[in-house]
Chain A
Amino acid sequence: MSTAPLIEATGLSLRYGRKLAVDNVSFQVPAGRVVGLLGHNGAGKTSLMKALVGLHTCEGELRVLGLHPRRDRQQLLESICYIPDVAILPRWARVEQLITLMSGLHPRFSADRARTLLRRTSVGLEDKVKTLSKGMVVQVHLALIAAIDARVMILDEPTLGLDVLSRKAFYEMLIDEWCDGERSVLISTHQVEEIEALLSDVMILNEGKLALSISLEDIDRRFVALSHDAAQADAIAAAHPLLRYRVQGGSAAIFDGPPPEAVQALGQRMRPSLVDLFVALTRAPDMNRSQA
Chain B
Amino acid sequence: MQRFKTLLWREWMQHRIGWLAMMTVPFVLLLLAVSFGNLHVNLADADVNIRVAGQRLPLNEGLLPLGISVFGGTAFLTVLLVWMGNMIQAPGLARRDQQDRSIEFWLSLPASHVQSLGATLLMHLLLVPAAAMLVGLLGGAVIAVMLLIRVDGFTALAALPWLAIAPATLAALLRALFGLMLATLWLSPMVLGTMAASAWLKRWGLPAVIGGLTVAHTMLKNGYGITLIADTIGGWFQQAQLALVGAGGRGNLPGVGHAGEFEFALRAFPSWAAGDAAAAVANLATPAFALAMVIAAAAFGLLILRRQRGA
List the interface of chain A (C-beta within 8 A of B): 50, 53, 55-56, 74-78, 81-84, 86-93, 97, 100-107, 141, 145
Q: Known: A55-B310, A56-B310, A81-B108. Contact between A104 and B9, CB under 8 A?
A: yes
**Which residues from chain B contact A55 at a C-beta distance below 8 Å?**
107, 310
Q: Are B310's CB and A90's CB within 8 A?
A: no
Max chain B CB contacts within 10 Å: which of A55, A76, A102?
A55
Q: Are A104's CB and B5's CB within 8 A?
A: yes
Minimum CB–CB distance for B9 against chain A, Å: 7
Q: Are B111's CB and A74's CB within 8 A?
A: yes
Knowing that A88-B101, A102-B109, A105-B111 touch, tell me 7 more A-B residue pairs with CB under 8 angstroms.
Answer: A55-B310, A84-B108, A90-B14, A90-B100, A97-B13, A105-B6, A106-B110
Chain B residue nearest to A93 (CB atoms) is B13
**Which residues from chain B contact A86 at a C-beta distance below 8 Å?**
101, 104, 311
Q: Are B6's CB and A91's CB within 8 A?
A: no
Minimum CB–CB distance for A140 against chain B, Å: 11
A-B contact pairs, 5 of them (CB 8 A): A74-B110, A78-B110, A84-B104, A86-B311, A105-B7
Chain B residue nearest to A84 (CB atoms) is B104
Minimum CB–CB distance for B140 against chain A, Å: 31
Query: Is B232 close to A, CB under 8 A?
Result: no
**Which residues from chain A contact B111 at a C-beta distance below 8 Å?**
74, 105
Q: Are B109's CB and A100's CB within 8 A?
A: no
Max chain B CB contacts within 10 Å: which of A82, A89, A101?
A101
Query: Is B36 close to A, CB under 8 A?
Result: no
Count A-B contacts at CB 8 Å.
71
Query: Is B3 close to A, CB under 8 A?
Result: yes
Question: Chain B, 1-26, contact with A by CB distance < 8 Å: what is the 0/1 string?
Answer: 01101110110011000000000000
**Which residues from chain B contact A53 at a C-beta distance below 8 Å?**
108
Q: Are A105's CB and B14's CB within 8 A?
A: no
How many residues of chain B are within 8 Å of chain A by beta carbon? 24
Chain A residue nearest to B115 (CB atoms) is A74
Q: Are B110's CB and A90's CB within 8 A?
A: no
Q: Which of A75, A106, A141 contacts B109 (CB 8 A)?
A: A106
Max chain A CB contacts within 10 Å: which of B104, B109, B112, B310?
B109
Across the A-B interface, the 10 shortest Cβ-Cβ residue pairs: A104-B6, A77-B110, A84-B104, A90-B102, A82-B108, A88-B101, A78-B110, A55-B310, A105-B109, A74-B110
Q: Are A77's CB and B102's CB within 8 A?
A: no
**Which residues from chain B contact A100 at a C-beta distance below 8 Å?**
6, 9
Q: Which of B7, B105, B108 contacts A77 (CB 8 A)?
A: B108
CA distance A3 to B111 in the complex (A): 29
CA distance A106 to B105 in the complex (A): 13
**Which residues from chain A contact B6 at a C-beta distance below 8 Å?**
100-101, 103-105
Minimum CB–CB distance for A72 against chain B, Å: 11
Q: Are A101's CB and B9's CB within 8 A?
A: yes
Minimum CB–CB distance for A21 against chain B, Å: 13
Q: Known: A86-B104, A87-B104, A90-B14. Contact between A74 and B112, CB under 8 A?
A: yes
Q: Are A91's CB and B102's CB within 8 A?
A: yes
Minimum CB–CB distance for A110 against chain B, Å: 15
Minimum CB–CB distance for A95 against chain B, Å: 12
Chain A residue nearest to B10 (CB atoms) is A101
Q: Are A88's CB and B109's CB within 8 A?
A: no
**Which residues from chain A contact B310 at a C-beta distance below 8 Å?**
50, 55-56
Minimum CB–CB distance for A130 against chain B, Å: 9
Chain B residue nearest to A145 (CB atoms) is B108
CA distance A142 to B101 in the complex (A): 17
Minimum CB–CB distance for A159 against chain B, Å: 16
Q: Which residues of B in the span 231-268 have a Cβ within 8 Å of any Cβ on A?
A: none
Q: Are A89's CB and B105's CB within 8 A?
A: yes
